[in-house]
Amino acid sequence: MNDETTELEKSPVPLSPAARRVLGVLVEKAKTTPSNYPLTLAAIVTASNQKSNRDPQMDLDEDDALLALDELRKAGAAREVQGSGRAIKYRHAFYEWLDLDGPGAAVMTELMLRGPQTIGEIRTRASRMHALEDLGAAKSVVDGLIEKGLIEALTPPGRGQTFTHTLYPPQERQYLGARIEKHSAKSPGERSSSSSGVNKTAVDQLLERLDTVNERIEALEKRLENLEN
């Protein structure tokens, strides 16, 4: 078997936006609310559409979620299991599917749930599922995922460099690249004007506060979900 064939076999299967959202939700909830995992279809829909820790916002219904789950099952990324009662529940097979460890799964999940991010954003957000002590630790995980072909850089090295997963279908990835390129094509004067006076440390602190607020909102949503169940 040649190297090219081996590389093709290791390449991840592209997933639709709904399938990526559902898979991200399954991994996230397994980490953050293990007592409610595996998830029912209703829980998957609620978590997919929640307002916190999601970008873009989605409005999936049960039919959308079932189609996404069928796509994930065919890819080998999720499984259907029998719940304690009659309810059918679902669990992910993310670690086995992409040969991931805890840190790698946390980073990939955040990229699926929130889209392209900087190393600082990845570190702050992924740490709710697996602790990443500092930017160096986050960069090490990202570099490892780049080597595996699961993450790629969207912008050139330097301040504000953004990264994304490689699970996009080709057409969607092409659109994303064009959007990033258009954003990067701003004139230097326009970019410096828009960022003048902004303190990077202050921005990072604001992001961390925003994540804390989002986590509190998510905790309230979980309580409401438990009450409804």
**Mean pLDDT taken over the chain:** 84
Same domain, 33 and 88: yes
- What span, in angstroms and rounded, lies between the C-alpha atoms of 20 and 27? 11
CA distances from 90 to 60, 65, 199 (A): 16, 11, 44
Residue 14 DSSP code: P
pLDDT digit string (tens) for 102-131? 999 999 999 999 999 999 999 999 999 999
Q: Is residue 198 part of a domain?
A: no
Domain count, the chain: 2
| φ and ψ at residue 89, rounded to 5 degrees | -125, 170
pLDDT digit string (tens) for 135-147? 999 999 999 999 9
The pLDDT of 193-200, averaged and rounded, is 44
The pLDDT of 92-111, averaged and rounded, is 97
Same domain, 84 and 128: no
- pLDDT of 178 reads 79
Single pTM value for the model: 0.77
Residue that terminates a domain, selected from 97, 116, 134 = 97
Same domain, 120 and 183: yes
Alpha helices in 33-152 (DSSP H): 41-49, 62-75, 94-98, 102-114, 119-126, 135-147
Q: Is residue 172 part of a domain?
A: yes
Residue for token pair 């957000």: 125
Same domain, 62 and 138: no
CA distances from 178 to 36, 154, 189, 210 (A): 40, 10, 21, 28
- pLDDT of 107 reads 98
11: pLDDT strictly greater than 80: no
Same domain, 38 and 60: yes
The pLDDT of 20-26, averaged and rounded, is 98
Per the CB < 8 A criterion, the answer to whether 64 and 42 are in contact is: no
Q: Is residue 228 part of a domain?
A: no
Same domain, 41 and 57: yes
Same domain, 84 and 146: no
- pLDDT of 196 reads 41
Burial 105-119 (b: 16+ CB within 10 A, else e): bbbbbbbbbbebbbb
**Minimal CA–CA distance to 39: which of 225, 221, 220, 223?**
225
Segment holding 212, helix H or strand E:
helix 200-228
- What span, in angstroms and rounded, lies between the C-alpha atoms of 172 and 170? 6
Per the CB < 8 A criterion, the answer to whether 36 and 46 are in contact is: no
Same domain, 180 and 106: yes
Q: Is residue 163 part of a domain?
A: yes
CA distances from 175 to 70, 72, 94, 171, 178 (A): 25, 23, 26, 6, 5
Same domain, 53 and 106: no
| φ and ψ at residue 175, rounded to 5 degrees | -65, -45
Residue that terminates a domain, selected from 72, 97, 122 = 97
Q: Is residue 201 part of a domain?
A: no
156: pLDDT strictly greater than 70: yes
Q: Domain holding 53: CATH number?
A: 1.10.10.10
Q: Is residue 210 part of a domain?
A: no
Same domain, 111 and 92: no
Residue that terminates a domain, selected from 45, 80, 97 = 97
177: pLDDT strictly greater than 70: yes
* Structural domain range at position 78: 14-97
Parallel/antiparallel/unpaired status of strands 39-40 and 88-92: antiparallel
Same domain, 47 and 70: yes
